Structures are given as C-alpha cells and as structure tokens.
Amino acid sequence: MSLTQLQERLGNDLHWAAEGRPVGRILTGVHISELDDPTPYLGGGELLLTTGIPLSGGGDQVRRYVRRLVDKGVAALGLGLGAGTDTVPPELVEVCREAELALLIVPDGTPFMQVSRAYWDLLATREQAEFAANLGLQTGLARAATRPGAAASVVKALAEALGGWAVYLPADGTAESIWPPAESRVLPELREETARLNLAGTHTAATFPLLGTDVVEYSIIADQRTAGFLAVGAGRPLRPSDRQLMLTGCMLLSVTVQQAWELGRANTILRGTAAALLLHGHVDAARIAAAELGLAPLTQRARLLAVTGEGVDLLSVDELADLVAALTPGEDSAELRRSIRRSGLKCTVEGLCYLVIEEPNAEPAATAPREEQPPAAADRTFKPAVDPGRFAAALSEPLLLAKLAGAVSEVGRACRRASPGHLVPFVDALDPRSEAWVDALRGYTRSDLVGTVRSYLRHRGQWEATARDLDLHRNSLRHRIAIASTLIDADLDDPDVAANLWLALRGADRSPVG
C-alpha cells in the first residue's frame, strides 16, 4: 500500500506539509514514537508519527533526527499538531526536503490512532482483494489440472497468472511443457542448472538468475519420488500470494503425475496379460485381449527382449527402457528406448523379464508417412534409475508374432549367458528347411511321426530307449524313422539336421495348432 493511498483515505486528517507529493512511497506500517532515536524499533518503510518532542532542540538536532530516519529507510514523517507543537517548524520542512523524506501533517484534533486504523483498514481491504483474485487464480489452476494434458495446462495457467513463463521438466527425461512456447530458448540452460542444483529427492526450492530473469524452481514429489521440476520466471516482483500460487501449482502437478503413474501401472497390468498370451503361443487370444482391454491393435511382427538381474521384475517399462538403452552401444539406443516405451508389453517368465517390442506394420506406398515427434533432449543423455552393470539382456531379430513363443527359451538362454552390463543380439539360426520338415511330419496321418521323431531326438538316436519311451517294437520304430527321413529328405542322425529339427519341434510345441 502506498503513502498516497493512505493520505487520500484520510483526506484533511493527513495532509502534505509542502507542495509536491512524493510518488511511489510504499508503506510497511505506521509507528508512533517520541524517542530521539526510534530507529532500533523500526524496520524501514514506516510512516513515523511524532508530536514533535524529538525536534525541540533546534536545527542541528532536527538535521540529525531526520538523517537517522532516512538512513533507516523510513518512508515518511508525520507531525501531529496541538500537543506541544502548534506550527510546522520551517527548518523541519527544509531538512526533509533536502533529505527527500516525505513530511505530512496530522492536524490538531486528529488522534494518531485514526491514522493507524486507516492504514490497517486499507491493508485489510487490499489483502481481501488479493485473496479474492488469488482464489480465482487458484480455481483456474485447479480447472487446468482436470483438462487433457493436465501438466501443460497447469504450466500455461501459472505462466499467465504471473505474467512470465513456466516450465515443467519431467525427471524421466521426456519432453518438457513450457508456456509460452516462444520462451523455449531458456530450456538448454535451465536443464543444466537443474542438474547442477541436484534437487532430486528433496522437498525444496531454489532461486537463481537465468538469461536476465530470476527463476524460482521447485521439485515435484509424487509417490515419495522426484517426478520432475517446476521452474517459473515471473514477469514482475513476486508477492506472497504469487508464491502460494506456485505451491498450488506444485501440488497439482504432483497429483497429476501420481494419477498418470497409477494409470500407467494399470495399463502395465493390462499389457502384461497380452504379453503373457503372446509368449505362450496364444496369438489370436492376445489380439482379442488387446481389443477388449482397449489397447492398440497388435502389429504383425515384434522383437523379443529378455532382461535378467536382481529386482528386474520390479522395474517399470520406462525404467527398463532406460536400462536397455544404457546397455545398447551407438546411436540405436535412443530409438530402442522409444520403441520399448511405445510397446510396453511386459511379463515375467521363469525369472526373466520379457518385453515384446512391436515392429511398425508396413504401410502402403500411397499412405503418407507418420509425423515423427522430435526426440526429447533426454533421449541423448538419459540416465537409468538403476546400475546397468548389474543387468544383462538379449534381443531377437524381428519375428512374426506366431514365432515369439518358440523363441522364448532361446532368447532367455542367450540372456542368461550374456555378461553383466551387456545386451547381446539373438539371431534365429534355424535351417530355413526346418519348418517344412515339421509340416511334413505333421501331414503324415498313419502314425504319430512328430512324437516319434521328438522322442528319437530326445534320446539322441538310441533305439532301445526310444522304443521303451514310445512303447513300440524296435522294428516298428525303425520303420517310422525311415518314413520320417524319406518325408523330410534328410538324415535324422546328421547332427545339424537333428539340432535344427529339435529346435523347430520345440517351437511348434509352443505355437497354437490349427
């Protein structure tokens, strides 16, 4: 509240001692004192009221008195007439003019309490107005949090309320939300300053200069983890109500992130159902489940990723994406990270965490290419939440969904053999004829050649053991093996043939029939 506002409120009960009214004097309070040196009891910015007792010593004492008030930062001096001083001393007017200290007169008959009460009434009125305005802004923020893209809506509402810019920087490295977009120039230095301050894991705020603007940054905590950071560059000096507004923005962002995480967990469970069906060979059921659960239609091909390490089953898809990207050398790491996040099909089989990374379906030539979103800065500088050196992974080549089940064991075995801190590629090295061999054996209807050959290979070509396993006479077994060899036009005792046919038969066991 300004000195001019107080004078206008009181009218003739508080008037200027001379021509020329000081402009822009802000009051912090009204204080009454008759001490020669009241400054130990002042904080600066006050209207000091006196009946003139400290001014009774003449010119030098008046000059020293005024100098003490000016040095303390007192906003104005009010002289009350009628209680010992009936006129305004000319030397006081001159000294105040020279020292640029506003001098006002409280006329005879106006109690100082009336001046003090007017100040507090004005202050209460202003605070009520600010409260009403702030309440409207708080309501606007709350409404923004209910809109689609809640984080971006909250950032926009906060920036417009403060007349500056605001940014939400997610801790997981995804793209920032900034308003207005024209202020994107601050992002590179803001990222660096955020990393330097290391506010992660703290309920605190920091203030620092950035490109000529004072920035206030808060850490956003959700589920006892750092979800991100809210940075604000206000377009004007901040008031207490502004800081309250920023704290409300922090709270709403925390709630928004928490809700997104809960939704993400639910989607992970739903996607895990589809992933489990795929890895057990039930492709059609997985497609039906995806449609019923509201997931995107499954693609035709996918890569199979297996990850091992202590606590790997507790990691989220996003955390696994960061981890696998850290294990991947070269420029492919960022694209692999995005692919894992997009698919999100994750489940656990025999202690290993498997992710089905869908490959985009081929689009017709006439179809316009999809618009790719620019990669977030963190795609180039991501840091996993766990130590990559404690984990190992294996990644297959793109496979038809029907072939994923048959690759689970082999990809898992490659994963377990991989050294900690490494991702190894798994290439399906089966003889391309092996699938035709299985089809030929299945097509023979006079006897179960598939079961016969499987047992024969399991017992490594031992006639007696195979005959006992199948409860067949040895001559009948020899006849069946001869027919099988003829059908596939290959020698079952050839180690390469036996190895490829064995793996193909295992894959056939995991794939749905018919």
Q: What is the CATH number of the domain that holds 489?
A: 1.10.10.2840
What is the radius of gyration, based on Cα positions, of the chain? Answer: 40
Backbone angles phi, psi at 111, to 5 degrees: -70, 150
Check whether 507 has a pLDDT greater than 70. no
pLDDT at residue number 508: 60
pLDDT in tens, 270-300: 788 888 899 988 999 999 988 887 778 888 8
Q: Do 105 and 43 reside in the same domain of the chain?
A: yes
Q: Which two tokens stand for residue 446?
A: 């006079």
| pLDDT surpasses 60 at 264 | yes
Among 83-97, 163-177, 255-269, 365-379, the range scoring the smallest mean pLDDT is: 365-379
Average pLDDT over residues 203-208: 77
Note whether 385 and 485 are same-domain residues.
no
Predicted confidence (pLDDT) per residue in 380-403, tens digit: 445 666 788 899 999 998 888 988
Confidence class of residue 254 from pLDDT cuts 50, 70 and 90?
confident
Is position 160 within any domain? yes
Domain closes at, from 120, 136, 157:
120
Poorest-pLDDT segment among 269-278, 318-327, 372-381? 372-381
Residue 307 has pLDDT above 90, yes or no: yes
Identify the CATH number of the domain in which residue 247 sits.
3.30.450.40
511: Cβ contacts below 8 Å, ≥ 6 apart: 281, 402, 403, 405, 406
pLDDT at 21: 60
**Residue bearing the bigger pLDDT, 363 or 88:** 88
Kindly state whether residue 126 falls inside one of the protein's structural domains: no
Q: Which of 384, 408, 426 is the last residue of a domain?
A: 426
Give me the pLDDT at residue 77, please: 94
89 inside domain: yes
Indicate whether 239 pLDDT > 50: yes
Which pLDDT band, with edges at 50, 70 and 90, does 511 fall under?
very low
Q: Are residues 308 and 389 in the same domain?
A: yes
- The domain total for the chain is 4
**Per-residue pLDDT tens digits for 462-506:** 999 999 999 999 999 999 999 999 999 999 988 878 888 887 786
Helix (H, G, I), strand (E, B) or coil at 362: coil
Q: pLDDT band for position 85 (50/70/90)?
A: confident
The reply to whether 172 and 221 lie within a common domain is yes
For residue 25, pLDDT over 80 is answered with no
Whether residues 234 and 332 fall in one domain: no
Please, which residues have CB within 8 angstroms of residue 204's CB and are 6 or more apart in sequence? 218, 219
369/98 Cα distance (integer angstroms):
76
In a domain, 465, yes or no: yes
**Range with the largest mean pLDDT of 109-118, 246-255, 494-503:** 109-118
Q: How far is CA 24 from CA 30, 45, 70, 71, in A?
A: 17, 12, 16, 18
Residue 344: pLDDT over 90: no
Mean pLDDT (whole number) for 100-124: 88
Report whether 466 contacts 459 (CB < 8 A): yes
Is 495 inside any structural domain? Answer: yes
pLDDT for the residue 464: 92
Q: Mean pLDDT throughout 112-116?
A: 90
Least confident of 140-144, 151-155, 234-238, 255-259: 140-144
Q: Are residues 418 and 305 in the same domain?
A: yes
Inform me whether the pLDDT recorded for 79 exceeds 90.
yes
Per-residue pLDDT of 417-459, as tens digits, reads 889 999 988 866 566 688 788 889 999 989 999 999 999 998 9
**Domain end among 254, 287, 313:** 254
C-alpha distances (whole Å) from 369 to each of 173, 188, 340, 366, 510 are 26, 30, 21, 9, 36
Q: pLDDT at residue 95 above 70?
A: yes
Residues 449 and 468 in one domain: yes
Q: Are both 419 and 309 inside the same structural domain? A: yes
Confidence of residue 368 (pLDDT cuts 50, 70, 90): very low
* pLDDT confidence bin for 255, thresholds 50/70/90: confident
Same domain flag for 378 and 443: no
Position with higher pLDDT, 23 vs 243: 243
**What pLDDT is stored for residue 256 in this prediction?**
82
Assign residue 37 the CATH number of its domain. Answer: 3.40.1390.20
The answer, yes or no, to whether residue 364 has pLDDT greater than 60, is: no
- Say if 48 falls within a structural domain: yes
Residues 406 and 491 in one domain: no
**161 and 79 fall within a common domain:** no
Res 17 pLDDT > 80 = yes
Q: Considering the domain boundaries, does residue 44 fall inside one?
A: yes
Residue 226, domain extent: 145-254
Residue 384 lies in a domain: yes
Whether residue 371 has pLDDT greater than 70: no
pLDDT mean across residues, the chain:
82
372, pLDDT greater than 50: no
Mean of pLDDT values over 197-218: 78
pLDDT in the model for residue 375 = 42
Please, what's the b/e burial string for 449-472 (b: 16 or more CB within 10 A of its CB; e: otherwise)? bbebbbbbbebeeeeeebbebbeb
Question: Are residues 59 and 67 in contact, defined by beta-carbon separation less than 8 angstroms?
Answer: no
What pTM value is reported for the model? 0.44
- The number of angstroms, rounded, from the C-alpha of 140 to the middle of its chain's C-alpha atoms is 22
Whether residues 420 and 438 fall in one domain: no
pLDDT at position 428, please?
A: 60
